Every structure is written in structure tokens, then in C-alpha cells.
Amino acid sequence: DGGITQSPKYLFRKEGQNVTLSCEQNLNHDAMYWYRQDPGQGLRLIYYSQIVNDFQKGDIAEGYSVSREKKESFPLTVTSAQKNPTAFYLCASRIGLTNTGELFFGEGSRLTVL
């Protein structure tokens, strides 16, 4: 079945550690996105990528980094510079480079900093 796979589902991190969240899609989608969700707030865009080897900052990119070496993969690294990293992270993808396609989401990764 085609879809988006995020891993791990749950992750615990000590302060000062970098962690990488995986996002893989087999939908042959061009565009991929990372969102952060906090209680009582709408999803906020961290980074997005519309093509391999290219990505753009979203609204809350500070303390995060991404790469897009392959079309199907868009990993997110939460660095120690992110002041409040405990959150639920969602990866999404969309077919095509224009702003018209339906979004497909993964199941999310919940990061807790101890």
C-alpha cells in the first residue's frame, strides 16, 4: 500500500541531544512537509521541500534541520538549539510542484525531552 511512514512513533531525548525523525513516502510525491503540533494550537510548518536537494524554511525553522537527498525521504533533525522540542511532529506529502494537490499525512512522531 502507498503511504507515508514516520518513525519512531515515540522518542525520548535528553536535553542537549540531537534527534532525527524519519519520514519516508512511496507515493512518488514531489513535495514533502514537516509540521509541529502543540496542544491547543494549529499545525505549524517547520520545513518543506518541493524537489530533491532543495528545501525551504517554514514559519518555525529555528532549531531544526532537514535534508532531501532522495525523493522518497525527508528526515527532520531536532537539534539541541531548539528551545522547546517536546511536541508532536507530522510529516506530509503532496503530488506535484503546484499548490493544488491533496495532502497525505503520516501517523506522527511524539518527541519528549526529559
- The yes or no reply on residue 33 touching another protein (CB under 8 A) is yes
Sign, Cα dihedral of 79, 80, 83, 86:
positive
Query: Contacting another protein (CB under 8 A), which of 23, 31, 76, 111?
Result: 31
**CA 13, 94, 103, 78: dihedral to nearest 10 degrees?**
10
Part in contact with another protein (CB under 8 A); list of ranges 12-20, 42-50, 66-74, 75-83: 42-50
- The yes or no reply on residue 99 touching another protein (CB under 8 A) is yes
User: Residue 24 corresponds to which amino acid?
Assistant: E
- The yes or no reply on residue 22 touching another protein (CB under 8 A) is no
Burial readout 79-105 (b: 16 or more C-beta within 10 A, e: otherwise):
eeebeebebebbbbbbeeeeeeeeebe
Query: Contacting another protein (CB under 8 A), which of 1, 2, 14, 42?
Result: 42
In the complex, which residues of this chain contact another protein (CB under 8 A)? 31, 33, 40-45, 48, 50, 56, 58-59, 88, 90, 92, 94, 97-100, 102-108, 110
